[in-house]
Structure 1
Amino acid sequence: MTSFNRSTSRRLQKLPQIPSVWEGDRRPLSSPHTPFTDPDAKGDCILWVDASEGIVRSMDMVDPALGPEAIVRTLMQAIEHPQSPAKPGRPQRIVVRDREIQFYLRGVLQDLDIAIDYVPELPIIDELFRSFAEVIDSQIPDLPPKYAQLLHDKALEVWQSAPWRFLEEQQILSIEINQWDVEKLYASVMGMLGIEYGILFYRSEDSLKRFRAAVLADEDELQQDLEEAFLKQDCLFLTFDSLHENEDDDLGNLAQMPLSEIEPTFGNIHPLEGLRS
């Protein structure tokens, strides 16, 4: 078992011992009613709460794969660098609801004169996690789950059809919608140059013309004004990247990658909202 080195133990022993009981726990931060669908969004929440004062001393989100050391690191924050208005200090007693955490902490904290006890319930932490679950339940997803897979599949169909083999960016398609408060969209296809792949769907012809004019402007002006012109667009977009993209990837080879390596991204640009994806 990993333990504190002697200098760390001496440093912690110098802190005042507070006559209080702290609750500590580690739980997945998700709701049973609306579990996260994005694997990257999943995580364990570690909480240390001063039950005597009713305040959170430290909180952290960690990868579920991390070991019990993570809960000790968050405890160290609670002891040495607690959230305001708490002051640094050691508790007299810690209570946890997990036997494994209890035994682990007993071994790690044995030199700090802190009692580590098991209790079946942690009233303050239980209430906090109930509040977290209510917030998660109340969140409205950007896209209803029943449409997410369909949209993803349709995007990959666009990738397979590769319209950039036939259309240049300046060859605009006018698409009549006449539904959902949208009359027309003006589609500009990117990809013939092999740099970026995707489709921009402009909500107005004026927005399309303004951005095209900015792109074709003098090079010196382009460097100064292109970012502003980009954010002034009024469009939806679909772009494609490598699923495992990193800084060393050669994006020029994206078109040669297998379909399983292609990741579509959807988003919106509006002058008053900026970029959302």
Structure 2
Amino acid sequence: MSGLPAATVRRLQKLPQVPSVWEGDRHKLSGSPPMGSQTEGECILWVDGVQGVVRAMEVVPADSGFEPMVRTLIMAMERPHAAPPARPQKIIVRDREVQFFLRGILHELDIKVECQPELPLIDEILQSFEEANERIPPPLPEHYVELLTGKALTLWRDAPWDYLEDHQILAIDLDHWDIQTLYVSVMGRLGMEYGVLFYRSLPSLKQFRQDAGQPDTPEEMEEAFLRQDCLYLTFQAGNPELNELPDLDLAE
């Protein structure tokens, strides 16, 4: 990106310039990459250092270059969170390369770009993110992870979809964990999507079959799926394009 389009420059020049200093930075997200993503994500933040508010925030792939910093900055000026549109007098970033890049991009907007190693407000926000993330319980208790993975692999190798249609329902009597019976439907006989659904009540299973049988729009079909009272386990490739390969072992 050698510069902003002339129309964008004219649009931003019409915004009032306020005596504010904004901090901008991108920070690696903790945890695993999102499902289906091959790259880790980073969070871009632009914060008004005078008002102490986050004007814009965006999550982007870690290898996306400097352009998302500009895009998010424009968002912070034109469509900020909880603040009126405006241009700052000065912005501060932590990375020297980002500073030089933004200087070239913003030279027509009369915005001073500086670099300093410490960004107090952003560092405080990032620290609060880390603390909040530590308080979030894992989606599955650790002592169940290995067990569930093993059972999922066993299910894939047993391949119940080779001999059961989705309308052939199995009833599993549990009488435990406030569940009397699980009603199991197997997907995959048609070779389109593999998995099992464990309905926690027979009325929920019947209601879904009724709703899904006569959907008028994709939205109604999606709503029918979301209303299901069930647990489910499905298999899919990390890269959706690989699903088309006939010899792909989804257990991997």
In which range does the TM-score fall when normalised by the shorter chain? 0.7 to 0.9
CA-CA distance at 1:45 after TM superposition: 1.3
Query: Kindly tell me: are residues 52 and 159 of structure 1, through their superposed partners in 2, closer, same or farther at Cα, counting changes over 3 Å?
Result: same
TM-score (norm 2): 0.78
The number of aligned residues is 246
CA-CA distance at 1:235 after TM superposition: 3.0
Of 58-67 and 112-121, more deviation after overlay is shown by 112-121
Q: Is 2:132 the counterpart of 1:135?
A: yes
CA-CA distance at 1:262 after TM superposition: 5.2
1:130-209 to 2 correspondences below 5 Å: 130-205=127-202, 207=204
CA-CA distance at 1:27 after TM superposition: 0.8
Looking at structure 2, the residues matched to 58 and 151 of structure 1 have their Cα atoms a distance apart, in angstroms, of 39
Match of 2:233 in 1: 238
Match of 2:48 in 1: 50
Match of 1:79 in 2: 77
Aligned to 2:118, the other structure's residue is in SS state coil
Unaligned runs of 5+ in 1: 216-220, 264-277
Query: Kindly tell me: are residues 178 and 50 of structure 1, through their superposed partners in 2, closer, same or farther at Cα, counting changes over 3 Å?
Result: same
Match of 2:214 in 1: 223
Q: Is 2:252 the counterpart of 1:257?
A: no
- Whether the 8 Å contact between 1:29 and 1:132 is mirrored in structure 2 is no
- Whether the 8 Å contact between 1:243 and 1:262 is mirrored in structure 2 is no
Counterpart selection for 2:95 from 82, 95, 98:
98
Looking at structure 1, the residues matched to 168 and 176 of structure 2 have their Cα atoms a distance apart, in angstroms, of 24
- When Rg is computed on C-alpha atoms for both structures, the one with the higher figure is 1
Q: Is 2:64 the counterpart of 1:69?
A: no
- Whether the 8 Å contact between 1:214 and 1:229 is mirrored in structure 2 is no
Match of 2:9 in 1: 9
Query: Kindly tell me: are residues 106 and 207 of structure 1, through their superposed partners in 2, closer, same or farther at Cα, counting changes over 3 Å?
Result: closer
Unaligned runs of 5+ in 2: none
Looking at structure 2, the residues matched to 195 and 17 of structure 1 have their Cα atoms a distance apart, in angstroms, of 56
Looking at structure 2, the residues matched to 103 and 143 of structure 1 have their Cα atoms a distance apart, in angstroms, of 45
Aligned to 2:32, the other structure's residue is in SS state coil
- Look up the equivalent residue of 1:175 and give its one-letter code: I
Looking at structure 1, the residues matched to 103 and 150 of structure 2 have their Cα atoms a distance apart, in angstroms, of 52
Match of 1:27 in 2: 27
- Whether the 8 Å contact between 1:96 and 1:119 is mirrored in structure 2 is yes
